[in-house]
Amino acid sequence: MYQDLHSHTYFSACGADEPERLIVKAIESGIDILGITDHNYGIGTRKQLYFNLLTDLQKEYCGQIRLYRGIEIATVQNLCIKQEEDISYFDYCLIEHIDRPDSCVGGEQIISFAKRCGCPAGIAHTDLFSYIKMMGFDPLEYFSTLAENGIFWEMNVNYDSIHGYREHAYVQDFKNRKEQQQIVKESGICLSVGFDSHRIGEYQEERVKNMCNFIEDLEIPLFTL
């Protein structure tokens, strides 16, 4: 199974493409599950419009691809969702910035924040092993707690101009370090794979597929609804 659970459209200020173009590209690329996850602060007050559009596209392309209606949630103070803001109707959310000093979510607070979101939650493009070490937590215990609370961890395989053609070092570390793989496997946490696409012309489906295959070969579960 090939999944890409992190992509952006024109609803994100940094994105450029129409949602339907991403879906068609994913189908052409042999992706089985696509998640569209525009930034909460980019969508702004258009969340219901955004969700309804994805719902219509989900129905239109049913049978060709599984489309997940997602949203990416920033946790730095000036971009975080408001306390009264409801996102529970989304299929899932990706939570970013938890390792930044100015994050309103960190340490054990990620559990309560994920519950506040009201939908399945994953941690996006974060070097969790370095973060865990910095916070003084036990890695197996931390990942196990995430798993027990239904929180998954993203392997972000992005490589495009928006991100300066830089690979995430934590992904390469995970691929190369068997002790990390063993901790993740033993904890029971699910992983997800995302290209974090912002420009459809720069999409590299082989990076997504290679990571999906790698995770499945390790017999670590991929997050699905």
Q: Counting Cβ atoms within 10 Å, is residue 165 exposed (0-12), middle (13-18) or buried (19+)?
A: exposed
- 25's enclosing H/E stretch is helix 19-28
Domain range annotation of the chain: 3-217
Please identify which residue in the block is written with the tokens 């793989």. 181
Confidence of residue 107 (pLDDT cuts 50, 70, 90): low
Instruction: Count the Cβ atoms, other than its own, within 10 Å of residue 119.
Output: 17
Strands of the sheet with 121-123, listed across from one edge: 3-4, 33-39, 66-73, 92-95, 121-123, 151-156, 191-194
Query: What is 54-90 written as a DSSP string?
Result: HHHHHHHTTTT-EEEEEEEE--BTTTSPPTT---TTS
Query: What is the gyration radius of the CA atoms in the chain, in angstroms?
Result: 16
Q: For residue 105, what are the CA distances in angstroms to 73, 128, 162? A: 11, 14, 25
Question: Whole-prediction pTM value?
Answer: 0.96
Tokens representing 72 are 């990416």
Which residues on adjacent β-strands are paired with residue 6? Answer: none
Please identify which residue in the block is written with the tokens 């990571």. 211
pLDDT at 81 over 70: yes
CATH number corresponding to 3-217: 3.20.20.140
User: What local confidence, expressed as pLDDT, does residue 108 receive?
Assistant: 74
Confidence of residue 83 (pLDDT cuts 50, 70, 90): confident
Query: What is 202-215 written as a DSSP string?
Result: G--HHHHHHHHHHH
pLDDT at 104 over 90: no
- What residues contact residue 52 under an 8 Å CB cut-off, 6+ apart? none
Query: How do residues 16-57 score in pLDDT, each as one tens digit?
Result: 899 999 999 999 999 999 999 999 999 999 999 999 999 999
Longest dimension (CA), the chain: 48
